[in-house]
């Protein structure tokens, strides 16, 4: 089953694509207005990201992805996987970019890690444990690079939790056709690849492929 990977002009697209190849997950890379390729509503979508909330939203808008992505995910109900900032932009807003609206697919905000913790170090860079909050979710260590974390209005969407400097936060989420990882599965070794393959094995779409 082919997946569509969105290239919004930044982020960790290359490393994510190499991980998909190692997992034998077939994909096509979409570049929006750059080459006229957009989400079709017939294939699962992956949105990888590294960098700032505002920059990703600007890139998605500049490449004409906002309307077709919304149509595919919210209306066609295609499976969606967000990675890192690709998780954060699912929400309504972020403290990183106060005047920028997110996609708003999920209710909630993105907050900065507190810096009043003794010996606080932000961003979080390195390995951290993810603890399952939903059934059939294997636990293990994954690789994070983040200064911000999502705070969903509905805590039941949280798939994994981690803790950093005394703050418990959403490490991953799942609601309906939407899944997203705050961590980087492509940098998380064999366990990260297992999580990608598990997501791929769950794929179901509402339109014929």
- Catalytically annotated residues: 84, 184, 186
**CB-CB contact of 141 with 127 (8 Å):** yes
Tell me which residue has tokens 């970019």.
Answer: 97
How many helices (H) and strands (E) are present in the chain, helices listed first?
Answer: 5, 12
Neighbouring residues of 38: CB distance < 8 A, sequence distance ≥ 6: 30, 32, 64, 65, 68
Tokens coding 106? 């999920």
**CB-CB contact of 109 with 140 (8 Å):** no
**CB-CB contact of 14 with 49 (8 Å):** no
The Cα–Cα gap between 31 and 125 comes to 29
């Amino acid at each position: 089953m082919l997946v569509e990977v969105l290239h919004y002009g930044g982020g960790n697209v290359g490393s994510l694509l190499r991980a998909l190849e190692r997992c034998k997950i077939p994909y096509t890379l979409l570049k929006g207005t750059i080459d006229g390729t957009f989400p079709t509503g017939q294939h699962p979508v992956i949105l990888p990201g590294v960098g700032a909330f505002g920059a990703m939203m600007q890139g998605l808008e500049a490449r004409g992805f906002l309307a077709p992505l919304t149509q595919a995910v919210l209306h066609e109900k295609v499976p969606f996987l967000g990675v890192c900032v690709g998780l954060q932009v699912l929400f309504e807003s972020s403290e990183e970019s106060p005047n920028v609206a997110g996609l708003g697919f999920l209710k909630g905000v993105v907050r900065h890690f507190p810096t009043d913790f003794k010996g606080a170090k932000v961003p979080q860079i390195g390995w951290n444990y993810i603890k399952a909050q939903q059934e059939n979710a294997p636990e293990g260590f994954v690789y994070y690079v983040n200064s911000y974390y999502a705070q969903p209005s509905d805590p039941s969407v949280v798939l994994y939790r981690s803790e950093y400097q005394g703050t418990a936060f959403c490490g991953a989420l799942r609601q309906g056709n939407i899944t997203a990882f705050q961590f980087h599965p492509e940098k998380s070794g064999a366990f990260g690849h297992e999580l990608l393959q598990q997501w791929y094995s769950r794929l179901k779409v509402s339109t014929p492929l």
